[in-house]
Amino acid sequence: MPTFFKMNLDQQSVELPGTRSPGATGHYRHPDYVDGLVECIRADPHIGTLYELFQNSVSLYSEREFLGHRPYNATSQTYGSYVWQTYGEVDKRVNAFGSGVMHLNSVILGNQQQNRWSLGIWSLNRPEWFISEMSCNYFNLVSVALYETLGPDAVEYVINHAEIPIVVASGNHVASLLENADKLPGMKVIISMDPLVEPAQVPGATSAARVLRTWASSKGIRLYDFTEVEALGSAFPCKHLPPAPEDVASFCYTSGTTGQPKGAMLTHRNFIVAVATNSEAMIISPDDTLISFLPLAHIMGRYIDTLITYSGARVGYFHGDILALLDDAVELKPTFFPAVPRLLNRIYAKLVTATVGAPGLVGALARKGVAAKLANLEAGKGLHHALWDRLLFNKVKMALGGRVQCMVTGSAPIAKEVLNFLRIAFGCVVVEGYGATESMGTALITGAEEHIPGHVGGPRSGCEVKLVDVPEMKYFSTDKPFPRGEICLRGGHIIKGYYKDEKNTTEAFDSDKWYHSGDIGFVDDRGCFTIVDRKKNIFKMAQGEYVAPEKIENVLTARCNLIMQIFVYGDSLESSLVAISVPEPETFVPFACGITGLKVGVTDLEGIQKLCQEPAVRNAYLKELEKAGKAGGLRGFEFVKRVHLTTDAFTVENGMLTPTFKVRRPQVQAYYKEQVNAMYGDLKNAAPAARL
C-alpha cells in the first residue's frame, strides 16, 4: 500500500532568505530541502534515464506481474478478467519490438541514421503503448504521443512537425492515417497494435485486413501489425543504444486554445527528477496496483505510470470505455487511483444521490454518518470511524474495488466539499496537486494528512516557486495579507523548451530557467499555495474591470454539480457576463423535473432539450450559479447574469475543445453568437423595467 512521509502541515514551504527581487517574492522550497533541490532518486542514484529505470526494475522484479489488460471475447461481447505480463516478459517484448522498429527504419526504409528520430504512438492506454514507448528508450529514439482525441488536422501537424517516419497506432486509427497519407510525406510505416489477421477463406470474400494492406501499398506505406514487428526484431536483434540524461525522451504536444500545438521537449532527466520528487513524499510498494486510464499522451498519466514502473508495482489498464471505468476498478481492485476533477465530480454526484440524498432511513443514517466523519476530519482526527465505516462506508469503498488507499487529483480545481466527501467516503488519502506539461506535471501538492481543503499545498522536493507581479491584473508580491502573483517554477523537472519554437520558448522560460506558468496564485502563512486566476484569456469589461473567464468557469464547475460544461463570455462594451452551459444529465434531470413536474429520463436527449428551454429551469439554474459564485468568492462583476442551456456538448470533433479538453473560446463564441446576442438583448430590456 502507498506509504506517505509525515510533514509539518503548519509549515509547508519556506521563503529562502536573500532571494527576493523587485516585483517578485523570494524563492519558496519544501522545508526539508532548503539547502538543495532533489536532483536524483536518492535510493538509486545510478538511475539517470528511463532506460536505466526500467532495467533496474527488470533486474529486481523480473517475475512479478507488471502490465495487465482485460481481453475482449468477441463471442460473448464481454471483457474478461485481467491477464498479466511480468516485468521480464515485457522486457523481452520491448527488446523484440524495438529491434524490429530499428530494422524497419535502417534496412527496409534505408535510413542509416540510428538514433534521434521520432516514433509516433496513437492509441488509448494499453500494454502496447508502454512497449512502444520503452522501445524508444532502449534505442535512444524520441517518442511522440498523438492524442486519442486529436482531430486529423492536428495529427497531420504533429507527424510532420516532429518528422515521424513510423507511427504505431491502435487498429481504429489505421484507416484515418491512410486517408491522410498524402498530407504526411514523411510517414513511411504504420504499425497496427491490433492483429491484421486474414480470416478463413470464404469464396468471394475480401477481409478488412487485406483491404487495409492493399490501400497502404497504393499509398506507398508499409503496413505491419505489432506481432509481425516483434517477430522481425527477434530475427534481427539490435544492440541497445542507451540515452544520456540530457537527451530528449519525448515530445509532448500541448494543445493551446488557439494556434498549433507546442512540442514540449521532455528529457530523460526531467522524467527521473519527477520520479525522484514523488519518491520523496510517497513510497509505492511492489504490492500496489494502479488503474491506468489518464491518457498517456498527457503528462499526469505518463509520470504516474513511470513512478509505478520504478516501484515494481502493477499497472492495470482500463478497457477503453471511461463510462465503464468503475467496472474495471471493481475487477482490478486498485490501491492507487489518480483522477481528474471532472471524473471525481461525477463519482461524488452518484455517491451523494445514493447516500445523503437517498430517501427514508438510508438517507437519514448517511447524513449522520457523513456529518460525524467530516467533524472528525476537520478536527484532525483522521479518516476512519469504527461505527460508521462498518455500517455504511465499507460498502461505499467497494465502488472502486475496496482497496484504494490513495487518490490523486490535478489539472483543474476541485471543490472543497467534494474533496472532503471523497476522503471520508472512501477512507483514503486524497491529495491535490498542481503542475503543467512544462514541469512534468510536478510542482505543488497537498500533504497526505491535510484536512484543510482549498489549496494545492507547498512545493515538492525537486521544485522551487516564486510569485511575480502582474500589474495589469493588480496582483503584487507585496499584497496583504498574502503575496500574490504569477506562479513561476524552477528545478530539474522543468523542460528545456518547445521543439522548433524559439518564440514560445523565450516567452515561457526566462534566462534564469524559471518557467512562467500564466497561473496566478497566493501563498499563505502556512506556506500553502492557492490558484486564484489565469493570466491568459483576460478581457476588460465596459466598467474597466479585468475578467479571467477560465477562473470563473473553474469556480462554478467545482461548486455546482449541475454543470457538465460551461463557457463564460463578456463583451468589452457590456458590463455583465453571460454563459453557455451544458448540464450534467444525472444531476440536472431530477433538478429540472422537480421544477417543471415533467418526467424525463437521464438518457432522454429530446426530453432534456425541452427542460433546457423552460424559463423557470434557466432561472433556477442561474440561481445555482449565483450560489456557486458566492461560495467561490467571486466578485460582483464576475457573476453570470444570463445563461443559455444546451445539450450540444463542446467536443474535440466539433472544434470547440482542444485535445486536452480546454475550451476553444473563439470557436464557441462564434458558434453561439446568436444566443449570446439574445442574452445581452434580454439584459438591456430588463434594465429599464428594473428602474421603474
Condensed to tens digits (0 to 9), the pLDDT of residues 314-329 reads 999 999 998 899 999 9
Question: Which residue in this structure is represented by grid cell 472543497?
Answer: 416
Beta-bridge partner residues of 314: 289
Tell me which residue has cell 489565469: 534
Q: Does residue 52 carry a pLDDT above 90?
A: yes
Same domain, 404 and 387: yes
CATH number reported for the structural domain that contains residue 435 in this entry: 2.30.38.10
Average pLDDT over residues 651-679: 83
437 and 364 inside one domain: yes
Note whether 128 and 219 are same-domain residues.
Answer: yes
pLDDT at 586 over 90: no
pLDDT at 255: 62
Q: Which three cell numbers stand for residue 528?
A: 500553502
Residue type, 33: Y
For the chain, give the mean pLDDT: 90
Q: Quick one: pLDDT at residue 472?
A: 81
Q: Could you give the residue ranges of the DSSP H alpha helices within 379-415?
A: 386-388, 394-397
Contact 242/139 with Cβ under 8 angstroms? no
Q: Residue 112 belongs to a domain with what CATH number?
A: 3.40.50.12780
Q: Is residue 383's pLDDT more than 80?
A: yes
The residue from 490, 517, 534 where one domain ends is: 534
Single out the residue of 631, 670, 664 nearest to residue 552, CA to CA: 631
User: Do the domain assignments include residue 260?
Assistant: no
Of residues 200 and 351, which shows the higher confidence score? Answer: 351
Q: Mark whether 130 and 72 lie in a shared domain.
A: yes
Instruction: Choose among 443, 449, 646: nearest CA to 30.
Output: 443
Share of the chain above pLDDT 90, in %: 64
CA separation, residue 277 to residues 132, 294, 457, 497 (Å): 26, 20, 15, 21
Q: Which residue has the higher pLDDT, 433 or 663?
A: 433
- Whether 618 maps to a domain, the answer reads yes
- The arithmetic mean of pLDDT across residues 651-677, rounded, is 82
pLDDT in tens, 404-453: 999 998 877 777 888 889 999 999 999 999 999 999 999 999 988 887 88
Q: What is the pLDDT of residue 329?
A: 96
**Whole-structure pTM value:** 0.83
Within this chain, do residues 135 and 201 fall inside the same structural domain, yes or no?
A: yes
Q: Is 48 left (phi over 0), alpha (psi -120 to 50) or beta?
A: alpha
Mean pLDDT of 340-347: 82
How crowded is residue 82: how many other Cβ atoms within 10 Å of its Cβ? 20
Per the domain annotation, does 603 fall within a domain? yes
Range of the domain at 206: 50-243+289-307
Q: Sheet containing 484-490: give its strands across.
A: 14-15, 28-29, 464-468, 484-490, 515-523, 529-534
Cβ contacts of 48 within 8 Å, gap of 6 or more: 40, 244, 245, 268, 269, 272
Is the model's pLDDT at 260 over the cut of 80?
no
pLDDT at residue 691, rounded to an integer: 40
Of 534, 566, 585, the residue that ends a domain is: 534
| Whether residue 528 sits in one domain with residue 580 | no
Among 499, 534, 569, which residue terminates a domain?
534
Supply the CATH number for residue 654's domain: 3.30.300.30
Q: Are residues 135 and 75 in the same domain?
A: yes
Query: Are the CB atoms for 145 and 250 separated by under 8 Å?
Result: yes
Beta partners for 484? 522
Inform me whether the pLDDT recorded for 206 exceeds 60.
Answer: no
Q: Tell me, what DSSP letter sits at residue 146? A: P
Please report which confidence band the pLDDT of residue 561 belongs to, taking 50, 70 and 90 as the band edges.
Answer: confident
Closest of 603, 605, 639, 637 to residue 624, by C-alpha: 639
Whether 491 and 359 map to the same domain: the answer is yes
Q: 74 in a domain, yes or no? A: yes
Whose CA is closest to 586, among 622, 553, 561, 555? 561
The pLDDT tens digits for 222-236 are 999 999 999 999 999
Once rounded to an integer, what is the mean pLDDT over residues 445-465?
90
555 or 404, higher pLDDT: 404
Give helix 299-311 / helix 50-61 axis angle, nearest 10°.
40
Q: Based on the domain organization, do 437 and 477 belong to the same domain?
A: yes
The rounded distance, in Å, linking the Cα atoms of 444 and 517 is 13
Q: What is the pLDDT of residue 95?
A: 98
Is the per-residue pLDDT at 257 higher than 70? Answer: no
| Whole-number pLDDT of residue 112 | 60
Q: pLDDT confidence of 115, banded at 50, 70, 90?
A: low
Task: Encode 541-572 in three state secondary structure.
Answer: CCCCCEECHHHHHHHHHHHCCCEEEEEEEECC
Q: Is residue 564 part of a domain?
A: yes
Question: Quick one: three-class SS letters along 269-319?
Answer: HHHHHHHHHHHCCEECCCCCEEEECCCCCCHHHHHHHHHHHHHCCEEEECC
Q: Is the pLDDT of residue 690 over 50?
A: no
* Domain annotation covers residue 281: no
pLDDT confidence of residue 377: 85
Does residue 171 register a pLDDT over 70? yes
Same domain, yes or no: 112 and 206: yes
Same domain, 498 and 455: yes
Structure-model confidence comparison of residues 57 and 652, the more confident one: 57
**Res 341: pLDDT:** 80
Note the pLDDT of residue 453.
80
More confident residue, 555 or 30: 30
**274: in domain:** no
Helical (H) or strand (E) element with 377: helix 360-378
> Among the residues of 162-235, which ranges form H helices?
171-179, 208-218, 226-235
Could you read off the pLDDT of 595-637 as tens digits, one per residue?
999 999 988 999 999 999 999 999 999 999 999 999 888 888 8
Q: For residue 68, what is the enclosing H or E element?
A: strand 65-69
pLDDT at residue number 544: 64
Is 261 among the domain residues?
no
Question: Per-residue pLDDT averaged across 652-673, rounded?
Answer: 80
pLDDT in tens, 233-246: 999 999 999 999 99
236 shares a domain with 298: yes
Q: Give the pairing of strands 314-317 and 289-292.
A: parallel
- Report the domain count for the chain: 3
Q: Assign residue 527 a region (left: φ > 0; alpha: ψ between -120 and 50; beta: otherwise).
A: left
Structure-model confidence comparison of residues 154 and 318, the more confident one: 318
